[in-house]
Amino acid sequence: MLTWYSAVILGIVEGLTEYLPISSTGHLILTGSLLDLSGPKQASFDIIIQLGAILAVVVIYRDRFMGLIRPDSQRSFSGIRGLWLLFLTSLPASLLGLLVHKAIKQYLFGPTTVALALGVGAILIFIVEALPKKVRFTGLDEMTPKLALGIGFFQCLSLWPGFSRSASTIMGAMILGADRRLAAEYSFVAAVPIMIAATGFDFVKNHNVFSADDLVLLGIGFVVSFLFAWLAVKWFIRLVQNVSLRPFAWYRIVLAVAVVLFWPA
């Protein structure tokens, strides 16, 4: 049964892992398994507390998000053009997610499938970091519709719990010519519409599983995930300027092995 302390733990896990290339969904599934939490309510709770992490990015990049509402002539990533780029990035995973949402929850929300996704994602990170770097884009205002849509197709990989939305979009952006910092920043910004869509869809579909008492627990998870997502984003954006993604790949491998060997089924 979900309690206040399990809500705090899940909020910390969500906040710390949402924007790092290590999969927040995978970590929440594993944490839920350790805490003996399962069922439709638990799965929906994990998704809904993402709103806290979403708000953290909106606050950190508030100038960019305000620019989407009030266009800035000095920035090409603003106004209708900025919204169009975010729409293109969100479109592929949103459409695919609507088609396979039920199957994902039924078949892929488990420690074994998460471990496999962690391992596959780690291998791809090593491959992407080993590829010759042909950087053509270094800032949000250099984003193009082709680049935005290409990142969107890579984002479809994140529908596999444990793969990581952050990892898929960052790797996709780097493969398509973005430098590591731009890849990370656009990953943060592009997460907002797709996560709002996923959270809203899940809440509308499963709101009846929550009682009035659960609203307090959702609030706790929301606040905690906001605080820890804020810290994680600030730390990660500084880190990627000087360090590759390989340490995260090694972490994923270690965690995947630990899950296979020691995690309860």
pLDDT at 124: 96
Residue spans of the domains in the chain: they are 4-262
pLDDT at 207: 66
Buried/exposed 132-165: b ≥16 CB within 10 Å, e otherwise: eeeeebeebbebeeebbbbbbbbbbbbbbbbbbb
Instruction: Write the pLDDT tens digit of every residue in 239-254.
Output: 887 888 999 999 999 9
pTM of the model: 0.88
Q: How far apart are CA 249 and CA 119, in angstroms?
A: 8
Q: How far apart are CA 137 and CA 121, in angstroms?
A: 24
Q: How far apart are CA 150 and CA 142, in angstroms?
A: 14
Nearest to 234 by CA among 174, 184, 172: 184
The chain-wide mean pLDDT, for the chain, equals 89
Nearest to 27 by CA among 154, 174, 166, 151: 166
Nearest to 166 by CA among 11, 20, 16: 20
Please say whether the dihedral angle defined by the alpha carbons of residues 15, 18, 21 and 25, taken in this order, is positive or negative.
Answer: positive
- The pLDDT profile of the chain, 265 residues, written as one tens digit per residue, is 778 889 999 999 999 998 999 988 888 888 888 888 877 777 778 888 888 999 999 999 999 999 999 888 889 999 999 999 999 999 999 899 888 877 777 777 778 888 999 999 999 999 999 998 889 999 999 999 999 999 999 999 988 888 999 999 999 999 999 999 999 999 999 999 888 887 777 777 776 777 777 788 889 999 999 999 999 999 998 888 788 899 999 999 999 999 888 876 5
pLDDT at 265: 58
pLDDT at 195: 83
Q: How far apart are CA 246 and CA 147, in angstroms?
A: 24
Instruction: Write the pLDDT tens digit of every residue in 113-172.
Output: 889 999 999 999 999 999 988 899 999 999 999 999 999 999 999 888 889 999 999 999
pLDDT at 161: 86
Three-state secondary-structure class, residue 137: strand
Residue 23 backbone zone (phi > 0: left; psi -120 to 50: alpha; other: beta): left
Cα of 135 vs its chain's centroid, Å: 24
